Each structure stands twice: as C-alpha cells, then as structure tokens.
C-alpha cells in the first residue's frame, strides 16, 4: 500500500514537473507558524517558503475511495468561492498547463493514530495531504483553507496567485466527539439556517450536530405514522410564532449536507418531560396527575409535562417515532432527552428510561441522554450528557458509559456574554468569551476519569433567538473556542495567544456574513 501511494504521488509530481514552467518566482519569506489557525494544530513546522496557488494548480486524490475524491471536490468548491480559481479535480485543464499539485492521499501510516488524523506537507511545487480516512482528509483541508491568504499577491507575476506557507502540519483531535446542539423546538430554524450553521462548524472541525427536535413548545420532524405531531405540535413556538417542521425529505437533506462535511446528525426526542407538544397532538400520551393538561405553550417554563410511563400505547408510539427517525439517520446515536421531568415520579421515570433505551437499541442506535438518565439502570453502551449533575456523570462512568461534557455554566451558548448582551439567559451565569475558553474538561470534574470523556458539546437553546442572525450572535465567537478545546492539546491553549488568532477570523466570518458578538475582550480589526 505504501509503495503504491508513493508511486502515485511521484507520478503526479513528475507530471507537474514535465509541464512548461514560467519563470522561477522568488517567493518572499512566509512563516507557517504565524498563520492564525483555529483549532491550533498539534505540531507545525515552518520551512519559510511558499506554494503558489493559482490557475495552474490541480487537485488529485486517491482513486480507490470515492469519498476522497468528494473531499477534493469540496476543497475545489471552497477555493473557488474564496479566490475565484476553478481548480480541476483528478483532471487537468487543457487551456491551463498544470504547474503545481495538491494531492489528497489515503495513507496507512502508523503515525496517523485516529480516524481524523492528518499530515499536511507543503512544498513550493506540491502539497501532500495524508489521512487514513476521508474524515481525516476533510479535517486536513479545513487547515489548508485557512492557510490560503485573503489577498492575492500578483506583484510577483502577471496573474493572480495566493501564497501558502510551506512546511508541515501534523495533527489529530484531542476528543473523538466535538459537537454543538441546536434547539429547533423552542424556535424553528429553516433548512438553510441549519445548513449555514453546519458549514461554519465544519470549518472549525466539529464532527457532530445534535438537533433538539421536540419540546413543550413544538414538534419539528414529520412522523408519517403519527401525522398530528406536526399538524398540531409543529404549529407553535416560544413567543407565539408560527413554528414549523422538517418533512422527512428535508431532514434527509440536512443529514446529507452534514455528511458531506463529515458531521454526524444526532436527533433528540426529549422525554418523558418536555412533551407538551406531543401530548397536545395526541392526548392519549399524556400522563395526567401532576402533569399540566396539554395546551399550546409559547412560554419558556419547564418541568410541567410528562408522558404516561405505564401505557403500552406510549411505547408503541415511541417505537414508531424512533423507528422512522432511525431509518433516516445514518449516524450511530439517538438522543432520548430525559432532563427536567419534574412531575414524573422517580420510579415511573426509571421504568420509562429503561424501556425507551431498549427501543433505541432495538433500532440499532446508541442511546444518549441528559445526565438525569443515570438514575435508571442504563446500559454501559448508553452515553450520558453532563449538563448540571456531576454525581450522575460519575455514576454512569463507573458503569462504563462514556460522557459528553456540556457544562451549563461553561458551555451553554444561550447564556449571555455579559450584562449588555442583546440575547440570551442568565440562569447558569453569564459566560464571557474568555471564561468559555479558559477551562479544561479533563480537570473540570476530578472524579470523572479522562478515559470516560467521549468529548464536548456546546448546546444552543433557542428561547431568546428565532433566526440565523440571533443564533450567530450567541454561538460565535464562543463556539470557535470550543472547537479548539475539543481538538487541540490542552497545553497548546493560551487565552492571550488565542485571542490574537480569534481576531484574525474576521475575514472568514465576514465572508460568511456571520453576525458574531464583537466582545471587547478581543482587539478586532477595523
């Protein structure tokens, strides 16, 4: 395998070398270590020259895996959007001689220790990106995208070119799971709004998006066997708006868009609490007793609703819901919620969680739940998401479960930045950009073994936001810092150095029309 890869790359480079060349360019010194990369790579070695990206550059990829070619095409599309260059992928342009090569290679190198590891070797006439998987190659091209300068340097030659610093980037993620959550239940977000969020997350090497698809105020995904869920439950949201929902075809479109970016979609149906919209659609699901009678809810209150935990009809309903969603969700996870079910008796709650876990497993998915589910006798294969009860996370970890860290006081993107924030809540405290960045998940909870941490997730609840502009205000720039926290070694993170790199993200954020919060903690460029 190694010999074949080397031979292919040599042939590609030789093809480039055999093309008629323009006059040798004397590149100004460029320093790879000075580029404001986020997340910060594990290792960067500068060689102080440059690769000239121009119309004579061609992208080649491993041909034995079509997913690598897809990564090459994605890179070509993003380069065109940034520079206007239309680079061929696995073919040359007859009108433009091939002068330089970007080769995206599937490698079996033992130095690539995780599925998302990559090696980036940049020379004056070639760029070699090694990865074991297409996911690793995709993470690598995000680094390459960030290395392309904003401005062309056409003072050296008679045509536009972009100078990419030469050197090596050897990189791999700290955590296998790096996610955000978007609450589309309290306020509905369109397919295009979700896609924009996914595109930005991908740029910063996130690999999962958790969609909170149901809550008291709305049900957001079509279930063909229970149509009133969207007819009734999908028609409301916080503040009295019209709500909305995704058809299964629209949901599949989101899943496919995410998959192209090597991001896994994790669907959540929150239960047995947070279920008012479902019980309003089908009153037979309602618990009765202490649970409030279902009605249209447009407020932000929590804890008053519950499914009936002893009715066979409820479990038949959930079997249908989980079956239909699982069938159109290729990722391994299904989130069952489980938080803030205050009016469900503890014994009924435990009975419910254990039954729903079995349904999820039956449909071939790994159950995920908020930390309250550790009260039940959950399987060690189930994943627990820690938001506010450390003792439950510790208990689950001792049982063998992996833990997703989503501390409300550190990671909730819906908390205000400070007293002058336009949107957001304060119940978990305000979270300035530096506070969000300056902590370590591995030491946050001393009793939690490092090996039990699956990764991080930054939730964005939508009680106070209703469109992309408001979403971006709360998410960015904090979500960029969480990207680095999830990817980069803890020893590499330093707030004073990071905030300089963060300031240099403005051209990308502006190009993407991201309405980020311009915190005064960062010296943003004019």
Q: How distant, in Å, are the alpha carbons of 73, 85, 88, 117 from that of 69?
A: 6, 18, 11, 18
Beta bridge partners of 358: none
Which is the catalytic residue, given 193, 250, 260, 340?
340
Strand order from edge to edge, sheet including 100-106: 43-53, 162-171, 118-122, 126-131, 100-106, 57-61
Could you give the CA distance from residue 512 to residue 353 in angstroms, rounded to a whole number? 41
Please confirm, yes or no, whether 340 is among the known catalytic residues. Answer: yes
DSSP run (H or E) holding 271: strand 264-271
Name the nearest CA neighbour of 109 among 70, 138, 137, 89.
137
Which residue matches tokens 């709650």? 349
Name the nearest CA neighbour of 519 among 508, 406, 511, 505.
505
Chain-centre distance for alpha carbon 423: 22
Which residue matches tokens 């649970």? 291
Q: What is the DSSP letter of 156?
A: S
Strands, E assignment, 327-380: 333-337, 366-370
Dig out the tokens for 50 from the structure. Answer: 């440059």
Which residue matches tokens 């062309």? 152
For residue 267, the number of C-alpha atoms closer than 13 Å in the C-beta half-sphere is 26
Could you give the CA distance from residue 59 to residue 126 in angstroms, rounded to a whole number? 10
Q: What is the DSSP letter of 491?
A: G
Could you give the CA distance from residue 400 to residue 130 in angstroms, rounded to a whole number? 34
Length in residues, the chain: 526
358: left (phi over 0), alpha (psi -120 to 50) or beta: alpha
Q: Residue 485 CB: number of other CB atoms within 10 A? A: 26
Residues 341-356: b if buried by 16+ CB within 10 A, e if exposed: bebbeeebbbbbbebb
Coil, helix or strand for 210? strand
Name the nearest CA neighbour of 25 among 128, 121, 102, 100.
100
Strands, E assignment, 73-213: 100-106, 118-122, 126-131, 162-171, 177-183, 208-212
Catalytically active residues are: 340
């Amino acid at each position: 395998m190694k010999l074949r890869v080397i031979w292919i790359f040599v042939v590609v480079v030789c093809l480039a070398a055999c093309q008629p060349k323009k006059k040798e360019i004397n590149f100004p010194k460029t320093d790879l270590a000075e580029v404001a990369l986020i997340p910060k790579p594990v290792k960067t070695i500068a060689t102080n020259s440059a690769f000239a990206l121009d119309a004579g550059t061609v992208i080649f990829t491993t041909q034995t895996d079509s997913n690598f070619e897809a990564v090459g095409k994605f890179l070509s599309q993003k380069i065109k959007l940034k520079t206007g260059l239309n680079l061929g992928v696995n073919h040359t342009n007859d009108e433009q001689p091939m002068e330089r090569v970007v080769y995206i290679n599937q490698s079996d190198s033992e130095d690539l220790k995780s599925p998302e590891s990559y090696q980036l070797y940049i020379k004056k006439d070639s760029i070699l990106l090694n990865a074991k998987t297409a996911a690793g190659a995709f993470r690598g091209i995000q680094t390459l995208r960030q290395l392309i300068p904003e401005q062309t340097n056409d003072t050296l030659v008679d045509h536009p070119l972009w100078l990419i610093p030469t050197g090596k980037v050897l990189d791999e993620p700290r955590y296998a799971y790096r996610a955000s959550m978007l609450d589309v239940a309290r306020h509905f977000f369109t397919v295009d709004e979700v896609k924009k969020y996914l595109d930005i997350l991908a740029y910063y090497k996130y690999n999962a998006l958790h969609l909170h698809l149901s809550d008291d105020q709305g049900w957001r995904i079509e279930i063909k066997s229970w149509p009133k869920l969207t007819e009734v439950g999908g028609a409301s949201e916080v503040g009295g708006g019209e709500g909305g929902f995704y058809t299964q075809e629209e949901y599949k479109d989101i899943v496919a868009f995410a998959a192209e970016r090597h991001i896994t979609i994790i669907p959540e149906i929150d239960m047995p609490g947070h279920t008012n919209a479902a019980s309003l659609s089908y009153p037979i699901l309602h618990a009765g007793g202490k649970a409030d009678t279902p009605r249209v809810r447009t407020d932000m209150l929590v804890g008053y609703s519950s499914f009936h935990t002893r009715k066979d009809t409820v479990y038949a309903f959930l079997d249908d819901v989980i079956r239909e969603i699982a069938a159109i969700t290729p990722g391994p996870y299904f989130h069952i919620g489980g938080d803030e079910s205050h009016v469900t008796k503890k014994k009924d709650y435990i009975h419910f969680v254990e039954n729903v876990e079995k349904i999820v497993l039956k449909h071939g998915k790994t159950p995920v739940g908020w930390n309250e589910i550790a009260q039940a006798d959950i399987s060690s294969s189930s994943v627990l998401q820690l938001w506010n009860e450390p003792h439950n996370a510790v208990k689950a970890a001792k049982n063998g479960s992996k833990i997703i860290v989503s501390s409300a006081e550190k990671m909730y993107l819906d908390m205000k930045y400070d007293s002058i924030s336009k949107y957001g809540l304060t119940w978990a405290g305000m979270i300035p950009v530096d506070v969000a960045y300056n902590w370590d998940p591995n030491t946050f909870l001393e009793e939690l073994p490092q090996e039990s941490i699956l990764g991080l997730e930054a939730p964005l609840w939508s009680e106070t936001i209703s469109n992309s502009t408001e979403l971006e205000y709360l998410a960015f720039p904090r979500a960029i810092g969480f990207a680095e926290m999830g990817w980069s070694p803890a020893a590499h993170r330093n707030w004073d150095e990071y905030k300089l790199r963060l300031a240099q993200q403005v051209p990308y954020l502006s190009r993407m029309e991201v309405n980020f919060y311009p915190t005064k903690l960062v010296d943003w460029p004019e």
